[in-house]
Amino acid sequence: MEPSIPLRIAYAFASLAVITVYGLLLIGSMARISAKVQGRVGQPVWQPFIDIVKSSGKRNSISHGVMFWLGPVFRLAGGVGTYMFVPAVLGSVVFQNFSMSGDLLLVMYFIFFGQLGMALGASEGGHPYSAIGVSRGLAQMTAFEVPFALSIISIAVQYGTLDITKIVMAQQGGFLNWTLFTNPLAVVAAMIAFLGMSGHNPFSVVIAPQEIPIGPPTEYQSNLLGMLQTNRAVFNGAKLVLYMNLFFGGATNVPVMVVKTFLIYFVNIFVGQAFPRFRTDQAIRFFLGVPTLIGIAAVVLFAF
Amino acid sequence: MVTPLAIFAAFLATGFLLPLADKLGRRVSATLFWALLAGFAGLAAYYLASFVAAPGTLEIYTGGFEPPLVIALRLGLEESAALAAVAAVALLAAFSMRKALHEAPVSGMMTFLMLVMGLSGLVLTRDLFNLFVFLEISGIAGYALLGFDDRRLAMSAAFKYMVAGGIASAAYLVGVIYLYRLTGTLNLDLMIGSAGLEGAAGAAAVFFVLAALLVELKPFPANGWAIDAYEAANPGLGALFSGAQATAMLFALYKVFPLLSDAHLAVVMWAGIVTFAFSNLVGLRQTATRRMFGYSSAGQVGFVAAALAFGARYVEGSDFAWLVAGGLLVNHLLAKTGLFLLSAAFESDGDGSMKGRPGTLVAAAAGVLVAALVGLPPFPAFWAKWDLVRVALATREYAFVALVGAGGLFEAWYLFSWLVRLVKGGADETPEAAPVPVLRVGADGVGPVLAALGIAALGGLSAWTRGFTDPLFWAPLAGGLLFLALDRLPGKLKALLATAAIAAFGYFALPSMSEFQKLFALMILGGGALHAFAGGYLTGRRAGHFPLYVMTVLSLGYALVAESALGFFMAWELMALGGYFLVLQGAKGRSASMIYLAFSIGGAFLMMAGLQLGGGLIGGAAPSPAALALVGLGLLAKLGAFGLHVWLPGAYAEAADDFSSFFSASLSKVAVFALMAALAVFGEALPGGELAWRVVGWVGILGAVLGALAAIFQEDAKYALAFSSMGQMGYVLAALAMRDQMGWTTALYLAATHFLYKGMMWLSVAGASLRTGTRTMYLMGGLIKRMPISFVSFLVGIIALSGVPPLTGFGGKWLLYHSLIAKGWYFEAAASFLASGIAFLYLYRMIHSIFLGQPKDEHRTVKEAPFWLVLPQLLLLVAVIAFSVFPRLILDPIMAVVGARYPAAGFAFEGQTLVSSLGYWNGLLTIVVVVVVFVLTFIWMVMNLRKPRLVKQFNIVFAAERPFRPETTHFAFDFFAPYRRALGFLVRGRSEKAWTAVAGLATSVAGAIRRLYTGNGQTYALHVVLYVGILYLFLGVR
Amino acid sequence: MSDIKFTRALADPDHALKPAGRPGPLGKPLVLANDGLPEEEKAWFCDAYPTASGPYKGILENFLNWARSKSLWILGFGTGCGAIELRPLMTSRFDMYRFGIQPRPTPRQSSVFVIGGYASVKTLKRIVRSYEQMMGPKFVVALGSCTINGGMYWDSYNTINAIEHYIPVDVYIAGCMPRPEALLAGFKELQRKIRRGECEGAVKYAENFEWYKANQKKVIHDWNMPDYNY
Amino acid sequence: MRTIPADIAERFEVGPLVSKRADLSTLDVDAKDVPELLARLRDRHGYRHLSFVTATDQIEEGVFVLTYMLHNHADNHSLGVKCRVGRENAVMESCHLLWEQMWTYQRELKELFGIDFPGSPRVDESFVLEGWIDIPPMRREFDTREYSERTFPTRPGRSTKDPATHMKEKLYPEAL
């Protein structure tokens, strides 16, 4: 039943490869969908792959110091690590990853690992816009964490556990058992937080391309940028899988996972294409308003 | 044995001889004067020694007959002690006044002698009318002395004094006449128990005597004349009034106690304690030193009178009077004498401005005197107060206790403010102001130093006689004294010695400790030793730092092992005192140290009351919710819990950098220790039940949220860290309030890890600010290249603090959320999420602003922090890493400690995995996965790196421009402006405003009351008369 | 007269106006790239000269060239009036994303620099700086007549006449203004050139660095940056 | 028909009020009177708005003509105050205390025409030209074409064609 250590590592690599490829394709297809919304043909679905190859194939690169180099390492390790701590597919040995390291809290806090490291790397770049971007990003993060945390607490109360596998198990046996239907308020709060987490409109002020040239990574280039692009896919994948597990019944096989995560991610595009951008302080006030109230209601509903 | 009558003979004879001797020259008369005083003092000492050796009383009957035919005197232990006190003060005062006495006409010396003689008579006589005679002698001598150097102000004060004294004398005479009529005798001993005192007439007669004596003791508010006299008097004379005369008058009062009924005694008690509280309240607004000391003297004398009366009412036997009233009195007279003499030496004129700053020895003496007066350990008043409050609580005199506490707090405030003015010079806190020069006072310093030595010796004696013979108990004081003696050594050597001293204390203390105590000993003594070592980071001697530091750390250490409530409380107060002086030593520590002091003293008093209510800390007392609530409140103040935190940022930030670190990393933990210990002793019930604990939990959580929020808006690195500490201790408090296995495990784990990473961060910042010469973060920047070790230390610190896996901090977060959710405190958990998110903001801001971003030109050549700072950081770093990889290293002992108190509730280790009812966490596997992923990613990065070029700070894309200067390119000021727009309204210092309003109320009440003191003699006379009348009404004589 | 110098320099890469950047005995260049800066500013900038990386050959390089041609990230820096023609390219009518072309706000991450028409001397300074800050391989598309021979500004006192003198150019798109269709054609041509391995502007720039620098310094008089901006 | 207000006619030697359009007139005045006149126009006659300041190079007369264009919003009228400054060592009194934005125009004039305004803030800093080392380019003796040829190398073979003829040749060769 329990695979040996080398086998487990091999499985982890396989799992990682799948999520990377899938994550990149997801980004590509979402860009294409956005293009359709705007009446364009749009870039090829595989464009993210080409971009990463191009970035990694640059012939020279610059660095502002050791921490600058370590920033993307932290970021990518953060993304990969987050994924490693999430069981991606229920009952699958290959996609179990290293979820025995810890429960939901470990995943929630490990998300910060990459962000913190990246922020430090960007800081050493010495570019004021990097720091401004980080300042905005962190500020926004503290705000969307509140409805998210409330939602997590609500489902912890609901299922009596913070163990992701157990939460998924509890949702098996028909879609009506999904958290989406058993605890819709928590899901709504968490999905609003997800919009903030993904940094699409209306919460894209962090990387505002025109105003503060894409924020934190403004000095990153070449293979460092390539790593950041790769991380985007892995990290997105990890977050989507986490959301799927917590709120949408998880997945018992890869195709189900693909369909569900695609649809979850699609919410971003759906909202992002329709709304303009919040300023940072507006975003903070927004998250601490209605979404937080929804989260509180979700907790109250199950706790009392 | 020489008969005490010789005293009067000698004084009178000398008094008459002095003018004759003066004809031969001032030198001769002065010699005579000094010889007499010295002889008197010697005789008093001899009496005291012989009565201590062989207790008993010596009754002296003048003229050889028995009373009532003749005047009787009595000399016993009590009388000889009082005589010795009078003599000691008289000597010190005369020494201080030597110049004035030598220059003024010889009548000055004569009057001085008459005053001393009158006071001696007050002590010795047993005859009521004779008492009146001595009252008049000392009174008239007093008026005369006030005016002896011919100043207009003094003359006017003397006149007012005379008016009040006249009223008192008249009342006294009336009383004596009635008493004689009723009892047929003037001898006190014969009068006691006389049937004539029964009934209303007797009560009224006694009341007149009592009222006169009370008025002479300068009760509030009928004491305007006395305050004016203190202000106008020569400081030496002030000492004489405040020390010797008050002693004699109190003794006289004590003498008539046997005549008094309980109602009389109640009047004395309440009049005394009201005087204590309100005189000190009025003193708050006072800046003129001698007038301030006048208020303090009036208050202290009232306090002693109250204690005397209290003892007479409630306690059998005279031990209480000895220990409490005697302790308070001797404490007051020595301290006040010393202070009056100090003010004579240092004050230019009456307005509170100083001529200069004292040197170390005199400053230490001043500190001792003020601390003693305020009732801090180890001085006599501390022990006296402890006993007084114990009995007062036992007899349910809560209002009395409250007045004792309030008066002490007010007095502490203005006396320490004065001390600050003295040792720091002037009233200005601007760092640019030129340092105040040290004033060498020479012989003028002898008096205060002697007084301080005496008071310290008596304090030590009190402790020793109370059975504190444990060497560990004496270690803090001994350590402090030792390092005071070594103060001339270089700072670095002293740092090593201090490390050794603390380690030695630990070596001796550890064997007797329980696991629980050891855990905290690691944080407090371990941290103490580390920070003592770090103390070597500054060049120079660091005068005064190490004595205080060693005393503080060792008293913390003793607080851990103290076996009695009193021992613990003494250590607690000593630690607060040491902390206060250490904060005061900071360049801008004035107001911060005063606020810290106020909260420390207030909190400590609550704690004392609680400890007394509960009956003792260690050694099973009955569970008492009220005791726990009081002790808890005191501890919350020390913990800086939300609402009581206003002292915290300033005190943490303005102390010297290494002490700030110790303060935050180690010292704050002692409150956690004490809180846990208090729960063990007093039980877990609070008034209000579970709801109260929920409130405590919320106080913790609010502290966490608002502390973090305040931290993100700080520009000063130390303030940011201080607010951060407040937030972190908020989590600990919340976890503690849960009171179950997971909660306490969380609390202990958070406390221990906070010690590790906060120490690293403070020391790292200390290094950075040492090298850059600023604490303002936006003035730093880019130090990573110059100070890589400090950077790594800070980095590990922030990763650990923020709770990001795989370092130790995550364990704390995991435990916190699991315990909160398991406990059902869901919204507390959500608020913690917010707080820990906000923590990211200030952590990032700090590391960015200090170590990353743009380096400034002037910091291009700074060096890594000194070895003295780096080594402690590295040790802490190793500990953090070790605990990260093997969480069991720290969690096993913690869980063992908690397990002894709370049964395991679904929360234990399975191998390396910590399993709770809600989930699991495997620290080892986590760190392995993270490290492997990180290393692989790192290899990937290095492999793909092509022609990397390390560039400089301005090689950035700056919208096709080039940056102008590093200062304009480093984005660090008002870093979270959007956050301020969104949530800044939450941290506008409401607590600060509330406490400022309280303080404002106190000072405006003080200001209003002060209007009573018009300076008009007629008004004062009216006050006295009305006062006597009102007292009579209170007596309820029908 | 200047034409002769121009053509000769291109024909003869060794032609050097001054011995800048040539390694000294300790491996450090004799003349540092930031030698022209005031003393107190020197520490702010990297003082190394560029080194040519490439051209490379082989299957891997061909693959990378293909990827480069399919992922053209334009630096969002409209240097002249021609930049207005870039905007329509993003719209649904022309949709440059189809070809893997997208705008990017920072030179660090861009691979194509579109010179949008006339370049005044003041702008030229920014062009040079931004160009140097791009990571190689990097491509330049010069748009409009002005970049070729000055166009209608041929006799202006503050507009350069041939951008080629200051930075290497891969593709010119003639016209005043060229239409978006022409731009697309130009980009397609650029992609073809990249795939053929002919776009080695960065190498050319490094190898003829002294010549380019001398040309730049001849027109830019208030030189307040290092000779090479990393 | 507008007239010169009496107080101005009294105090200053002004030329005739030339009306260019219904809402635009100009007034010639001696250079030394300009600051005082502008102040009076601003404070007493409603010309509170400074539209621009410019110069024209009258090289034939050896002068620069400075035009201060003011606007009166109340009656929608612009008034150009013109004065003449000698071309050699051209100096004009600075009026930056009257309108805050004036110094920007003066800095521009200094750079492009070489007219100095002593005391004007930042007047010696470069305005649009960075590092200009030749004579100010808007002076008429400056030969921009010569400068361009001297400074900016061109691609050889440039020739200019008349567009109309060229297109005719290209499209309708038979017509020629």
In a domain, C226, yes or no: no
In chain D, residues 93-132 whose CB comes closer than 8 Å to chain C? 126, 128-132
Per-chain mean pLDDT for chain B? 86
> What are phi and psi for residue B928, nearest 5 degrees?
-65, -50
CATH of the domain at C28: 3.40.50.12280
Interface of A with C in 204-223 (CB under 8 A): 209-210, 213-214, 218-222
CA distance B820 to A163: 16
Question: When comparing pLDDT for B523 and B683, which is higher?
Answer: B523
B436 pLDDT above the threshold of 80: no
Place of tokens 């140097």: C132
Please, which residues 896-915 of chain B have a Cβ atom closer than 8 Å to chain A? 913
Residues in D closer than 8 angstroms to C169, CB to CB, are none
Predicted local confidence at residue B235, as pLDDT: 82
Choice between B463 and B794, residue whose per-residue pLDDT is larger: B794
- What is the model's pLDDT at position C3? 39
Low-confidence residues of chain D: pLDDT under 70: 1, 176
Task: State pLDDT tens for residues A220-243.
Answer: 988 899 999 999 999 999 999 999
Q: What is the CA radius of gyration of chain A?
A: 19
Q: Does D143 touch chain C (CB under 8 A)?
A: no
What share of chain B has pLDDT > 70, as a percent? 97
Q: Do C97 and A220 touch (CB under 8 A)?
A: no
| Contacts for D171 with CB less than 8 Å, ≥ 6 apart | none
Number of C-beta neighbours around residue B439 at 10 A = 18
The verdict on a CB contact (< 8 Å) between C46 and B950 is yes
Q: State the average pLDDT over residues B1032-1038.
A: 69
Contacts of A84 in chain B (CB under 8 A): 929, 933
Q: Based on the number of CB atoms within 10 Å of its own CB, is B632 exposed (0-12), middle (13-18) or buried (19 or more)?
A: buried
What burial class does residue B691 get, using C-beta atoms within 10 Å of its C-beta: 0-12 exposed, 13-18 middle, 19+ buried? exposed
In chain A, the residue whose alpha carbon lies closest to the alpha carbon of C101 is A43
Domain ranges of chain B: 261-429+439-467, 490-687, 689-900
Which amino acid is it at C211? W
B903-929 burial code (b ≥16 CB/10 A, e <16): eeeebeeeeebbbbebbbbbbbbbbeb
Alpha-carbon distance C112 to C115, whole Å? 10
| Distance between CA atoms of residues B714 and B202, nearest Å | 70
C150 to D148: CB separation less than 8 angstroms, yes or no: yes
Q: Binning pLDDT at 50, 70 and 90, where does residue B787 land?
A: very high
Three-state DSSP at B353 gives coil
**DSSP class of D16:** E
pLDDT value of position B322: 77
Residue B434's pLDDT is 56
Buried-state track A118-134, b at ≥16 Cβ within 10 A, e below 16: bbbbbbbbbbbbbbbbb
Read off the pLDDT of residues B261-306 as tens digits, 9 standing for 90 and up. Answer: 888 888 889 999 999 999 889 888 887 888 888 889 999 999 999 9
Can you give the pLDDT at residue C11? 40
B152-190 tens-digit pLDDT: 777 888 888 888 888 888 889 998 888 888 888 888 888
Distance, CA of B223 to CA of B302 (rounded, Å): 11
Average pLDDT over residues C72-95: 89
B856 has a chain A CB within 8 A of its CB? no
CA dist list (Å): B938 to A74, A233, A238, B943, C108: 9, 18, 20, 9, 21
Q: A37 at the C interface (CB within 8 A)?
A: no
DSSP assignment of B421-444 equals: HHHH-SS---TTSPPPPBPP-GGG
The confidence band for A81, taking pLDDT boundaries of 50, 70 and 90, is: very high
Q: What is the mean pLDDT of residues C41-48?
A: 88
C101: helix, coil or strand? strand
Distance CA B19, CA B339 (A): 32
Q: Answer with the residue of higher pLDDT: B569 or B319.
A: B569
**C227 is a domain residue:** no
Determine the topology of domain D6-154 in CATH: Beta Polymerase; domain 2 (3.30.460)
pLDDT digits (tens, 9 = 90+) for A83-127: 999 998 888 888 888 888 888 999 999 988 988 888 999 999 888
Q: With bands split at pLDDT 50, 70 and 90, how would you rate the model's confidence at B541?
A: confident
Report pLDDT digits (tens) over B222-267: 888 888 888 888 888 888 888 888 889 898 888 888 888 888 888 8
Cα angle for residues B79, B162, B94 (degrees, 5° grid): 50
Query: Is pLDDT at C17 greater than 70 in this prediction?
Result: no
Contact present, B and C (at least 3 Cβ pairs less than 8 Å): yes
Tens digits of residue pLDDT in A185-209 = 999 999 999 998 888 878 887 776 6
Interface contact flag, D129 C121, Cβ < 8 Å = yes
Q: Answer yes or no: are the C-beta atoms of B921 and B882 closer than 8 Å.
A: no
Per-position DSSP letters for B566-612, written without gaps between them = HHHHHHHHHHHHHHHHHHHHSTT-HHHHHHHHHHHHHHHHHHHHHHH
In the prediction, which pLDDT does C9 show?
41
Q: How confident is the model at residue C26 (pLDDT cuts 50, 70, 90)?
A: low
For B515, other C-beta atoms within 10 Å of its C-beta total 11
| Residue C6 reports pLDDT greater than 50 | no
For residue B40, give both structure tokens: 């008197």
Contact C126 B951 (CB under 8 A): no
The ipTM value here is: 0.89
What's the CA angle centered on B148, arms B143 and B149, to 5 degrees? 135
- Judged against a pLDDT cut of 70, whether residue C7 lies above it is answered with no
Q: Which residue of C has its CA nearest to B966?
A: C44
Task: State what percent of residues in chain B have pLDDT above 90.
Answer: 23
Judged against a pLDDT cut of 80, whether residue B464 lies above it is answered with yes
Do C and A make contact, counting contact as 3+ CB pairs within 8 angstroms? yes
Number of domains chain C contains: 1
**Nearest CA-CA distance, residue B981 and chain C, Å:** 28
| Whether the predicted pLDDT of C13 surpasses 80 | no
User: What is the pLDDT, as a whole number, of residue B728?
Assistant: 92
Asked whether B296 and B415 are in contact (CB, 8 A), the reply is: yes
Identify all chain B residues contacting C127, using CB atoms and an 8 Å cutoff.
960
For the cut 70, the answer to whether the pLDDT of residue B372 exceeds it is yes
d(CA D59, CA B688): 97
Q: Sheet containing B913-915: which strands, arranged edge to edge?
A: B908-910, B913-915, B920-922
> What integer pLDDT is reported at residue B325 of this predicted model?
84
pLDDT in tens, B202-211: 888 888 888 8
Please tell me the predicted confidence (pLDDT) of residue A152: 92
Q: How distant, in Å, are the alpha carbons of A21, D50, D70 from that of D99? A: 64, 7, 11
CA B394 to mean position of chain CA atoms: 25
Is residue D56 classed exposed, middle or buried when 0-12, 13-18 and 19+ CB atoms within 10 A define those classes?
middle
Dump the DSSP string for B482-514: HHHHTTTS-HHHHHHHHHHHHHHHHHHHGGG--
The Cα D72–Cα D77 span in angstroms is 5
Asked whether the beta carbons of residue C155 and residue D154 sit closer than 8 angstroms, the reply is no
Q: Residue B191 pLDDT more than 50?
A: yes
Domain residues for C201? 2-219
Residue from the list A57, A209, A222 with its beta carbon closest to the beta carbon of C64: A57
Q: What is the pLDDT of residue C127?
A: 94
- In Å, how far from its chain's centre is CA B185? 49
Three-class secondary structure of residue B546 per DSSP: helix
Q: What's residue C170's pLDDT?
A: 94
Residue whose C-alpha is closest to residue A15's, from A76, A83, A73:
A83
SS3 at position D82: strand
Question: What's the mean pLDDT in B665-670?
Answer: 90
Strand order in the sheet with C112-116: C101-104, C72-75, C112-116, C139-143, C171-173
| pLDDT computed for residue D160 by the predictor | 76
Residue B790 has pLDDT above 90, yes or no: yes
Q: Which residue of A has its CA nearest to B953?
A: A126
What Cα–Cα distance (Å) separates residue D73 from each residue in A138, D45, D46?
50, 11, 7
Q: What is the pLDDT of residues A44-55, one digit of tens each?
A: 999 999 999 999
**Beta-sheet pairing, B58-61 with B72-75:** antiparallel
Q: What are phi and psi of D28, to 5 degrees?
A: -90, 140
R_g of chain B computed on alpha carbons? 32
| Phi–psi pair at A266, nearest 5 degrees | -60, -25
pLDDT in tens, B730-763: 999 999 998 888 899 999 999 999 999 999 999 9
pLDDT of residue C4: 36
Instruction: Give the H/E segment covering residue B894.
Output: helix B888-899
3-state secondary structure B286-325: CCCHHHHHHHHHHHHHHHHHHHHHHHHHHCCCCHHHHHHH
Tell me which chain C residue has its CA closest to the CA of residue B856: C44
Nearest to B391 by CA among B572, B625, B613, B623: B613
Residues of C whose CB is below 8 A from A40: 91-92, 95, 97-98
Question: If DSSP codes are grouped into helix, strand and coil, which group holds residue C219?
Answer: helix
Interface present between A and B (3 or more CB pairs within 8 Å):
yes
Distance (Å, rounded) from C-alpha B502 to C-alpha D82?
A: 87
Q: Is A294 in the B-facing interface, judged by CB distances under 8 Å? A: no
Q: What would the mean pLDDT of A6-30 be, rounded to a whole number?
A: 91
Q: In this model, does residue B934 exceed pLDDT 70?
A: yes
- Name the amino acid, one letter, at A270: F
Return the number of other C-beta atoms located less than 10 Å from residue D3's C-beta: 7
Strand arrangement of the beta sheet that strand D63-72 belongs to = D14-21, D24-29, D77-86, D63-72, D49-58
The residue written with tokens 């008050």 in the block is B246
**Per-residue pLDDT tens over the stretch A50-78:** 999 999 999 989 999 899 999 999 999 99
Per-residue pLDDT, A74: 93
What integer pLDDT is reported at residue B959 of this predicted model?
A: 85
Decide if pLDDT at C126 tops 70: yes
* pLDDT confidence of residue C23: 55
Closest alpha carbon to B761 in B792, B783, B782, B715 = B792
Give the pLDDT band (50/70/90) at residue C5.
very low
**Considering CB atoms only, which of A59, A67, A106 is closest to B852?**
A67
Specify the pLDDT at position B879. 94
Whether the per-residue pLDDT at B512 is higher than 60: the answer is: yes
pLDDT of amino acid C68:
93
Q: What does the pLDDT read at residue A47?
A: 94
Check if A262 contacts B (Cβ < 8 Å): no
Q: Which two tokens stand for residue B871?
A: 């080594």
Q: Which chains touch B (3 or more CB pairs under 8 A)?
A: A, C
Strand B908-910 relative to strand B913-915: parallel, antiparallel, unpaired? Answer: antiparallel
CB of B549 closer than 8 Å to CB of B525: no
pTM, two decimal places: 0.90
